[in-house]
Amino acid sequence: MRRFLLNVIFVLAIVLFIRYVHYSLEPEPSNQPDTYSNFSSLAENEDPADYDISYQEKKGSKILIMSPHGGRIEGGVSELVRYFNDDYSTYLFEGLKSHDNQTLHITSTNFDESLAEEKIKEHQYVVAFHGYKGEKKNTLVGGTDRKRAKMIVRALEKRGFSAELASSQSGLAGLSADNINNQGETGLSIQLEISREQREAFFDDFYYKDRKYTKTSEFYSYVRAIKHVLEKEYS
């Protein structure tokens, strides 16, 4: 019995150590106010080598899949966006710093990078991926397209994921007219806020250089649930 308990303690210690390494290498943004209130201020003060802006056009796409908090700002969202490259237009702003990527976080109501603004206005609908500091697997689905947001919730739940419609009082619902998600042709958007715990489960290795090579079956089940709704509702 004593040997069994020692083995349990040893395994728990390894798990806790791995989680510590993950968080130290890929920390989440803090709850502190943003360093910059708009993109021009960020561009004036940050080295261009510390971030990347990418856009991939899909001819005929009604939807833009995007995140203003990719790379090492909110870990795992870039990989989710890029999954849709073959089917829809995509946009990413990614933090690439070795540390302190929090300084590159601009909240969506203030995010005004020119390429993002231009391309969002060329599409009818926007689907935005974000991350939040949740310790349990969960997704808060918001955005102005509440009908389709509810469909996303049901699709995720059907595949065994924890998901709920983001409350308009939560601050994560993405309903503000100033939110860059809501500046497309129709003003309709879906915003997915995914907990840290859930994003980690999408990869065998959460380190940013290894995520694209270590996607789990949970990753593919998640994105396919979302894709099914998009294909059905926005075709």
pTM of the model: 0.88
For 171-224, what is each residue's pLDDT tens digit?
889 999 999 999 999 999 999 999 999 999 999 999 999 999 999 999 999 999
Of the candidates 109, 84, 101, 81, the one whose C-alpha atom is nearest the C-alpha of residue 199 is 81
Q: How confident is the model at residue 2 (pLDDT cuts 50, 70, 90)?
A: low
Q: How confident is the model at residue 32 (pLDDT cuts 50, 70, 90)?
A: confident
Written as six digits, the tokens of 98 are 């070795």
Least confident of 60-69, 106-115, 161-170, 211-220: 161-170
Question: Residue holding tokens 């005929």?
Answer: 60
Q: How confident is the model at residue 31 (pLDDT cuts 50, 70, 90)?
A: low
Q: How far apart are CA 229 and CA 148, in angstroms?
A: 8
Mean pLDDT of the chain: 91
Q: How far apart are CA 136 and CA 226, in angstroms?
A: 20
What pLDDT shows up at residue 135? 84
Residue 89, pLDDT above cutoff 60: yes
Written as six digits, the tokens of 182 are 């809501």
Residue 40, pLDDT above cutoff 90: yes
Of the candidates 86, 112, 106, the one whose C-alpha atom is nearest the C-alpha of residue 94 is 106
Q: How far apart are CA 183 and CA 124, in angstroms?
A: 9
Least confident of 8-17, 41-50, 120-129, 177-186: 8-17
Of the candidates 44, 31, 46, the one whose C-alpha atom is nearest the C-alpha of residue 97 is 46
Average pLDDT (34-48) is 97
How many residues are recorded in the chain?
235
Of the candidates 80, 55, 184, the one whose C-alpha atom is nearest the C-alpha of residue 126 is 184
Average pLDDT (46-75) is 97
Q: How far apart are CA 115 and CA 95, in angstroms?
A: 16
Q: The dihedral of CA 112, 113, 114, 115: what is its sign?
A: negative
What pLDDT shows up at residue 221? 98
Q: How far apart are CA 175 and CA 172, in angstroms?
A: 8
